[in-house]
Amino acid sequence: MLGRLAVVAAVLVAPTAWARPSAGGDLCADFGAPELAGTVADPDLTEISGLAASRVHPDVLWTHNDSGGQPALHAMADDGTDLGRYVVAGASATDWEDLAAGPGTEPDRSYLYAADIGDNDAVRPSVTVYRVPEPDAAPTGAGGTLRGTETIEVRYPDGPADAEALLVDPVTGDLVIVTKSYAGRSHVLEAPAAALVEGSPVTLADAGTITIRPPLDGVGLPGTAVTGGDIAPDGSVVLLRTYQSVLAFARADGQSVADALQGTSCEAPEADEPQGEAVAFTSAGDAYVTVSEGSSQPIHRIAVAVPAATTSTSATTTADADGDEGGGATSATLVLAVGVVVAVAAVGLVLVARRRRGRPD
């Protein structure tokens, strides 16, 4: 009995990390309710279409306007405070639709990818993705110019198409574009990081078609049209946004983004926004942020459970055997459970000690 109690106590007291969810339905259970984080203060930001969290400067969001805007990125704090407008040197703007942060040509640098890919009438023979390093100095409100821009010409395998969602794999640097279809049949198009070279047009490969179903209670703009997307900084979750919903896809280690999008999705929490196009994970991956087009729009933040840094093999094995990955447990619940087990173990030790006193040596 003493040995068994000691083993149980050791297993449950050991540091525990919840396993990554393996199915879409489990994934969204770990997301919190939308909370108001702030309001967009910059009066020039009236058609926010793309959004990305800085990987260099904590609590800084990068964004831009939709078609008709200037070739510039706007920095704002996570509460919407205006941190300045930054012209992207060497860029032009036809219809910027999305923004991503990810790796690029130089290791240990973070890059911003501005997607000039909007094409409502599907007539552009090629579109453009601008890649520019994030500035070393934190945005303070004065603005400036982003230099070192690379212009990457992108073509689609079957001719012109409308698209508004750009994804950059934070692990590999591969680029993915998801087309926009009001019928709900979106193509997933991809290019490896090595092909993203200025002056060398890249034709994306068609990695399959996904079906986007509208939410049952959706009203207003079509919930079938993909308007944006982002990938968690550790690559574990892919988000696609539509006018009416945020869809979350779990991604396994070593799995491509395109393959993850072929998996089962779940409908993640989203605030009611009039024209939702922008979504981005925070740099820590502990939440995602959404914002709509329009003047002085609210910024909504949705918390995401983040696994702990340490793992107990015994505890993880026990969770897997029960078929419960534990993502919904709170720290308080875990502490309480550990306390109960330790108490039971202590009582057991006392009982064993008393029993031994009555035995001859």
Distances (CA, A) of 237 to 85, 280, 343: 30, 12, 38
> In whole angstroms, what is the distance from residue 83 CA to residue 65 CA?
15
Query: In the structure encoding, which two tokens stand for residue 250, read together?
Result: 């779990």
> In whole angstroms, what is the distance from residue 187 CA to residue 181 CA?
9
Residue 19's pLDDT is 32
Distances (CA, A) of 230 to 30, 124, 176, 177, 213: 18, 24, 10, 11, 19
Which among 163, 144, 179 is positioned nearest to 95, based on CA atoms? 163
158 CB-contact burial (10 Å; exposed 0-12 / middle 13-18 / buried 19+): exposed
In angstroms and rounded to an integer, the radius of gyration of the C-alpha atoms of the chain is 24
Is 118 in contact with 61 (CB distance < 8 Å)?
Answer: no
328: helix, strand or coil: coil
Distances (CA, A) of 153 to 64, 98, 129, 202, 279: 20, 16, 7, 6, 24
Residue 307's pLDDT is 52
Give the pLDDT of the chain (361 residues) as one tens digit per residue. Answer: 333 333 223 322 222 222 334 344 479 998 999 999 999 999 999 999 999 999 999 999 999 999 777 899 999 999 999 999 999 999 999 999 999 999 999 999 999 999 999 999 999 999 999 999 999 999 999 999 999 999 999 999 999 999 999 999 999 999 999 999 999 999 999 999 999 999 999 999 999 999 998 876 656 788 899 999 999 999 999 999 999 999 999 999 999 999 999 999 999 999 999 998 999 999 999 999 999 999 999 999 999 986 544 333 322 222 333 333 333 333 343 333 334 333 333 334 333 333 333 433 4
> In whole angstroms, what is the distance from residue 329 CA to residue 226 CA?
32
Strands ordered across the beta sheet of 265-268: 226-231, 237-242, 246-250, 265-268
Query: pTM for this structure?
Result: 0.79
206: helix, strand or coil: strand
> In whole angstroms, what is the distance from residue 298 CA to residue 272 CA?
10
Query: In the structure encoding, which two tokens stand for residue 65, read together?
Result: 């306007």
CB within 8 Å of 161: residues ≥ 6 apart: 119, 122, 179, 187
Residue 219's pLDDT is 64
Residue 69's pLDDT is 77
- Domain spans in the chain, listed from the N-terminal domain onward: 2-17+311-357, 24-303
Fold classified for 24-303: Neuraminidase (2.120.10)
- Structure-token match 């006193």, residue found: 357
Residue 319's pLDDT is 30
Residue 306's pLDDT is 61
Residue 216's pLDDT is 65
Residue 231's pLDDT is 98
Residue 302's pLDDT is 98
Is 113 in contact with 127 (CB distance < 8 Å)?
Answer: no
Which among 45, 37, 36 is positioned nearest to 295, based on CA atoms? 45
CB within 8 Å of 51: residues ≥ 6 apart: 61, 62, 63, 99, 228, 230, 278, 279, 280, 289, 290, 291
Which among 90, 86, 104 is positioned nearest to 144, based on CA atoms? 86
